[in-house]
Structure 1
Amino acid sequence: MATGFYSHPVFLQHEMGEHHPECPDRLRAIEDQLIASRVDAFIEHRSAPRATDAQLALVHTSAFIADLEARSPAQGYAMIDPDTIMNPHTLDAARHAAGAAIAATDAVLSGELDNAFCSVRPPGHHAEPARAMGFCFYNNVAIAARHALEHHGLARVAVIDFDVHHGNGTEAAFRDDPRVLMCGIFQHPFYPYSGADCEAPNILNTPVPAYTKGEHVRKIVETVWLPKLRAFAPEMVFISAGFDAHREDDMGLLGLVEADYAWITARLLEIARECAHGRIVSCLEGGYNLSALGRSVAAHLKVLAEG
């Protein structure tokens, strides 16, 4: 078996205007770095299918799905909020991004793949059941996790989110769902200015202040996340893999480096081996410094591929 790498050409056609940080070059930077680091030789490239309405409806309301389709422009741009913009290819890309996460879940659960990474855009973890925001349209990880629960009959899944921003959409999808343990680390106070006061028993948010470095994040993972994850014993692990907490990324003010992402990935792989037959599906979220993003994804994938 192998580590799957899901992507699709349509991801390069979605763009939100000149100088927008969530740009097609993000995926080009990842693929270039995978080749340069020789990680590319150890992963299996797969094309992302397109998610159906029924699959999107695992998380999103039918009214929301229909409204986004109605607002999709035939040409030019349609603004959802000041940061979240559709062009004529956006919703096709968003459906393929969700489809990548679903297909990766199916392949890992069937035993075709050990684990998988979805190199997708637009990202997903800010997308709430009835709201697109923060560069996100459909919540890729939440849809895949719900698919594992509803269509594969899993009893417990874990969702890990290490983006610099709080995964408010994923929290909204799973708050008070005992089948899901969500662990998130994010800069606070910071966009979307949520997550610090959630009292749901299945949501383990660990906000950190600006300028927090990798050593402190590792301590949180070791002393807070891992005991909770082991006690929960997930049957599959999903990762919202945001790399904008890197110290070179000026989208935020945290201080992680590639070695920290590799270390976190290794710890999550240990949990997956102990509890979930090694099953992990990881989906790209943030990461806007192109060099740091490429290097960080390569470090993340190297651990998954060697696992």
Structure 2
Amino acid sequence: MVGRAPASSTFTRRQTLALAAGLALSPDFVAAGESAEPTTLLVTHASGVAHEVGAGRPDQPQRLRAIASALNSDAFAALRRAEAPQASREAILAVHAPSLLERLEKAAPQSGLATLGPDIVMSPGSLEAGLHAAGAASFAVDEVMRKAARNAFVAMRPPGHHATREAAMGFCFFNNAAIAARHAIAAHGAERVAIVDFDVHHGNGLQEIFWSDRHILYCSSHQSPHYPFTGAASERGAHDNIVNAPLAKGSGGEQFSQAWTQAILPRLDDFAPDILLICAGFDGHLHDPLGGLRLQKQDFAELTLRLAEIAARRCDGRIVSLLEGGYRPDDLAACVAAHVGALMGA
């Protein structure tokens, strides 16, 4: 079993929440970030921007450009940065049916756009982006498990948590978090992997893939009823390893915090994972066009800090966070900055 040890800090809790609130940071805060040993890894790849989906669709390349701009500020000088490799065929097939990979390979266009259903669009760069997104997740696990980074944030698209074993859906080609979880077990001997998900949409793909896997705990808060219309509290998995905390449309920070405090965080703490994966979807923000929740960047920062506290206690702070939703670029970038600031303070 992977060992556990207490965590150390770079950003203080006060400074992290100040960053999330958009308050000015003191000079000593920036200096500390510049001089400290990098502990948080940012993984991305240019292919994420080359994945074109056509005008008018929500998952635009500008999402990653806005995140890159936000994380290039002085406050994030201490981030260690790495390019994402492509996932191997074996890593994809550890989670997905061969038919899914074959379908995407055959559909990838040489020019223009190919539509594989109402919410999957491919351009000439899309398959490469999908492979790099999945590869980024496994690479981040490698770096965190071998202590080259304390924790990691993966800024890639397409996202992943809707992809089922056999189907791409909901803008998702491959289930990046599922691939990362399987990799942590196969390559690093993890016995228990926890995946927590605060996207406004339920991660139906993760629930399906891990429904009968006692080694995986999947926990999600999400708006309900809402796409993909799964994730009822009664859906608990074959081994009571699924925790769903549905939120009504219009729910804000208070209801969000209550759902996590009462339904999810105690289960996560009791599960005592060897590594914690986060499906970091920011489409619960009050201005997001695809959601109906009323969360703000401070809500995401506060939850990240609470997750980091459990990770410090249970798994030596090992966290890999993967970008999911968030479809208003400026708001997405601000929320990601708050989230990554909290990871840097873990």
TM-score bracket for this pair, using the shorter chain length: over 0.9
1:227 deviation in Å? 1.1
Match of 1:3 among 40, 48, 68: 40
| Cα deviations by residue, 1:142-174 (Å, 9 ceiling, x for unpaired) | 100111012211110100010000101111111
Distance in structure 1 (CA, Å) of the matches to 2:154 and 2:192: 21
Partner residue in 2 for 1:147: 183
Aligned-partner Cα distance in 2 for 1:226–1:17 = 39
In the alignment, the residues of structure 2 paired with residue 172 and residue 240 of structure 1 have an alpha-carbon distance, to the nearest angstrom, of: 15
Q: State the partner residue of 1:26.
A: 63
- 1:231 offset after TM fit, Å? 1.1
**Partner letter of residue 180 of structure 2?**
A
- 1:43 maps to what in 2? 79
Structure 2 residue 332 is matched with structure 1 residue 283: no
- The answer to whether the aligner puts 1:230 opposite 2:269 as a matched pair is yes
**Structure 2 residue corresponding to 1:70, chosen from 100, 106, 114:** 106
Q: Percent of pairs identical after alignment?
A: 44
Residue identity in the other structure for 1:166:
H
Secondary structure in 2 aligned to 1:42?
coil
> Helix, strand or coil for the counterpart of 1:282?
strand
For the Cα contact (< 8 Å) 1:149–1:155, is it kept in 2?
yes
CA distance in 2, matches of 1:258, 1:120: 20
Matched, 1:254 2:290: no
Task: Measure the CA separation in 2 of the matches of 1:102 and 1:170.
Answer: 16
| Contiguous gaps of at least 5 residues in structure 1 | none
Are 2:256 and 1:220 equivalent residues in the alignment? no
Question: AA paired with 2:265?
Answer: L
- The two structures have a TM-score, normalised by structure 1, of 0.98
- Structure 1 stretches of at least 4 aligned residues deviating more than 2 Å after TM superposition: none
Alignment check: 8 A CA contact 2:247 2:255 kept: no
Cα distance in 1 between the residues matched to 2:114 and 2:77: 39
Of residues 198-207 and 94-103 in structure 1, the stretch that sits farther from structure 2 once superposed is 198-207
Q: Quote the offset at 1:35 in angstroms.
A: 2.8
Matches within 5 A, 1:51-66: 51-66=87-102
Distance, in Å, in 2 between the alignment partners of 1:67 and 1:21 is 23
How far apart, in 2, do the equivalents of 1:231 and 1:306 lie? 23
- What is the correspondence of 1:72-111 to structure 2 with a 5 Å cutoff? 72-111=108-147
Match of 2:193 in 1: 157
Task: Give the whole-Å Cα distance in 1 for the aligned partners of 2:194 and 2:99.
Answer: 28
The one of 236, 246, 254 equivalent to 1:207 is 246
SS of 2:294's equivalent in the other structure is coil
Aligned to 2:3: none
Write the letter of the residue equivalent to 2:191.
A
In structure 2, the residue matched to 1:198 is 235
Residue of 180, 201, 215 corresponding to 1:179: 215
Report the Cα distance in structure 1 between the residues aligned to 2:254 and 2:327, rounded to whole angstroms: 22
TM-score by length of 2: 0.87
Residue 152 (structure 2) pairs with residue 127 (structure 1): no
Alpha-carbon distance in 2 for matches of 1:50, 1:286: 21
Matched residues in 2 for 1:247 and 1:179: separation?
A: 35
Instruction: State how many pairs are aligned.
Output: 306
**Residues 39, 298 of structure 1: 8 Å contact kept:** no
Q: Compute the displacement of 1:219 (Å).
A: 1.2
- Using the TM superposition, give the Cα deviation of residue 239 of structure 1 relative to its aligned residue in structure 2, in angstroms: 0.4
Residue identity in the other structure for 1:299: A
* Displacement after TM superposition at 1:100 (Å): 0.4
Query: What SS is found at the alignment partner of 1:35?
Result: coil
CA RMSD in angstroms, aligned pairs only? 1.0
Distance 1:75 1:250 in 2: 29
Answer with 1 or 2: which has the greater Rg: 2
The whole-number CA distance in structure 1 between the counterparts of 2:291 and 2:75 is 27
Distance in 2 between the 1:87 and 1:135 partners? 13
